[in-house]
Amino acid sequence: MSHSTDDRRVLAEMEQRLARDDPELFALFATLIQRFPPVPEETRPAARKGRRRLRRKPAVILFALIAVLGLILTALLSAPSSPPSGEDTPPGTHSGSPLTPPAR
């Protein structure tokens, strides 16, 4: 997206005011721009698309692992607990089917 001539003029005025009002900050910005030049806009979408692909695969794997762990935890926590084998059942309960009456 290119800037219009009015936008460029306003930016140039702002740059001149900054150079006049705060020369140290202007020098710092100039140094940063020299070290890290702006990236042309034609190359940005391709770079973003590549970065998105690199981030997408680990994110999908992480989501799948979390989903599997959630399912395992749900299965473990919702399983009915049964007394260990060989121990008596507490009084007032029976281990038979709910449809069969307790033994007398």
Tens-digit pLDDT profile for the chain (104 aa)?
Answer: 466 888 889 988 998 998 899 889 889 888 888 898 877 766 556 556 666 667 788 888 999 999 999 999 999 998 777 766 655 555 555 555 556 666 66
- DSSP helix/strand/coil, 78: helix
Tell me if the pTM is above 0.75.
Answer: no
pLDDT of residue 56: 83
CA distance 36 to 54: 23
The single-letter code of the amino acid at 50 is G
List the structure tokens of 19.
Answer: 């150079």
